[in-house]
Amino acid sequence: MASWNDSFLIGVKIIDDQHKKLFGMVDEFYLRLADSNNEGPIIMLVKGLKEYSRIHFSTEEMLMEKYAFPGIKSHKASHVSFVNQVAVYEAKLKGNGVLMPMEMAKFLKNWIAQHVASEDKLISAYLDKIDVKKNYM
């Protein structure tokens, strides 16, 4: 499973900084899991991740709108599916006492890494194609 490395850079600083932070939050999730069985802090972490991913997704979606990225519809749908899946895990953590934090941690890490490496990179490629100077954004 991939941790943050520069192969995930897309070249837009605000987005790259947010991605680094998201990867860091997932790493913290793993550390917390190794550390204790206390569900309290895990629930707080999930809440934080959910909130931060919302902020990140809206940043990305504003960027896609601004430059009329053609794949915006399916990209937004991917973001929605992530938020929904996180909500399902969160409900399980809070609700019926069936804790699957490791499954959740794996999902988060895989999803974020794959999404950045595939879909988010498409935004970057598109900005290059329409000649937007990403390093000045």
- Contacting residues toward Fe ion, per CB under 5 A: 60, 120
Distance in Å, CB of 118 to Fe ion, minimum: 10
DSSP 48-81: HHHHHHHHHHHHHHHHHHHTT-TTHHHHHHHHHH
Distance in Å, CB of 22 to Fe ion, minimum: 7
- Contact predicate 60/78, CB 8 Å: no
Nearer to Fe ion, 69 or 93 (CB): 69
Which residue number places its CB atom closest to Fe ion? 120
Sign of CA dihedral 73, 52, 19, 14: positive
Report d(CA 120, CA 86) in Å as an integer.
19
Distance in Å, CB of 38 to Fe ion, minimum: 30
Nearer to Fe ion, 23 or 120 (CB): 120
Nearer to Fe ion, 4 or 60 (CB): 60
